[in-house]
A and B are shown apart, each in its own frame.
Chain A
Amino acid sequence: MRLFQQIRPAPFDKLKAEPSPAEIPRALPMPLLRLDNVTKHYRADNQDVVALDAVTLDAEPGEFLSIVGRSGCGKTTLLNLAGAMDFPSAGSVHINGVVTSGLADAELTAIRRKYVGFVFQFFQLLPTLSVRENVELPLLLAGQTANTQQAIERLEWVEMADYAKRLPHQLSGGQMQRVAIARALVHSPKLLLADEPIGNLDSTSAEIVMNLLRRTADELKTTILMATHSQEAARITDRIVALRDGRIEEIRRP
């Protein structure tokens, strides 16, 4: 266990470069991601569905966690809560020491811009933008201007720089997912949330993507939470969180 390996406060002054969204509240010393007794209910078809039930989980910088379980066990919900896309019904989510509950939309946006990157099963590249423009997008959205270089660097890192001017529909699935990873990492987030990143890929592409993620955790010290069905993929992560019906069944090492 590498608990509290690197405890340091968030670099607040840097956040202020961007006027909107609003400031992120000051945080206490904490692991990068902490889910503390988190419960999440949904209302669907007039029924209360418990998506997560008293989940407690910490993740340290550079740690690569995989979340496994059957469809509907709460993997995606967990990722969304961890990515400040949603609030827990009970318990608290701490991202880099900040509790998301009660934050305004602008504050959540600021957290995502600074700390969080997303990778999706279906890549979700914007079809109208070129590869480079897709990668630039988070920077642009965060209001940064001179960012082409940063995007190219990230593309190089995922070995897709040659395709910078292509449009997404001209790429293969694996290439698209690599571009998506570049996009998720372009702003150097501390936390990468990947929802079934290889769920739609052939095995060769899947292997490339998994290696890329492993490298990301190791070299960039990015904490990764990956939801996956693939036992094989889970095997190269640091810890495996098994979910069942919204509860953590076990946390084990591969």
Chain B
Amino acid sequence: MKSPSAILATVCLLLAATAAAFDHARPGYQYEFPRDHFSHSTFKTEWWYYTGNLQTAEGRRFGFELTFFRYAINEQGGDSAWDIRDIYPAHLTLSDIDGGKFFKTDRLNRQGPGLAGADTEQARIWNGNWEVQWLDPASDKSPQRLKAYADDFSLEFTLTPAKPPVIHGLNGVSQKAAGEGQASHYISFTRLEVTGSIALNNQNFPVTGQAWMDHEFSTDSLGPNQTGWDWMSIQLDDQSELMLYRMRRSDGSTDPYSSGTYIDPKGRAQHLDWAQIRMTPIEGSHWKSPATGGLYPLKWQVEIPDLEIRLDCATDLEDQEVVSRKQLGPSYWEGAMNFKGHREGRPISATGYLEMTGYDKPLTIGPSK
């Protein structure tokens, strides 16, 4: 459940497109792959989110995020390739954890004559020269080739799923709020083995590691009073994974529709509802963003009593805040994390990503004035 950038789009478009004409995420949706890895134009909002923790043979650590968004703004479209039906924002970040630097960049396109898209036939999700290509789309463990080029750095990876895709939530639906349809269809590759290279500062770093991919599509999934959220992906070294999110409400409470998923080493998913989850920010661990003034808790404690998992979560790079250009979208913190703790009494560690939104100011939905 990662919607920070949803807000970016909502800046302009929510008024424009009438939600009624779009499909909403409803229980009983029939998933079909590889079709459901790609675009769902009958839903208004869709994104593909790649994050990962990587390192070189020498142990230099990197984190990355590559996100493709699709927002429908004019369901009719038009007869010319350039007529705008959807817009495609995309974000790319690189966390040079040991170098202590965070690189971020973004772009926006329309489909145009093939400028951006997520196409089943081509088995490709792309935005300019940022792209993910399925090499063997028929297989649910198809390797994916990820490429992204920015002024400062570039990424070229092969991502191989260690487990088949996971469908979050119950009955094919990940509920975000109480209302009907305030939900999404949410698919993840929770463990992608990464090999490839990062080019940075005229240097090429061969890297390996693990990535996570979320794909979510929905129409107006957010409820009222939701001012932000915290989301985590956790890849434990016992080959299991956790996905957790907490929806924060304007009164400071947590929306009970917050939830999570546990994926066991064999790839079986288990829905966790909010009552089964403890995710607590640690007092005094806050980092104040010089850019936005947002106050982000960078240390967390995570507990899943039913699974006897207890983890301390921290990061080695404070500034992993994605500050939106031109103040058009909200800013958010999204960074590589490491986890240490115990499971069933044995020590355990993990890597993952943490996303925090609504800390610089409450999230508002609708055009910003």
- Is A–B contact present in the complex under a CB 8 A cutoff? no
Contacts from A to B (Cβ < 8 Å): none
Contacts from B to A (Cβ < 8 Å): none
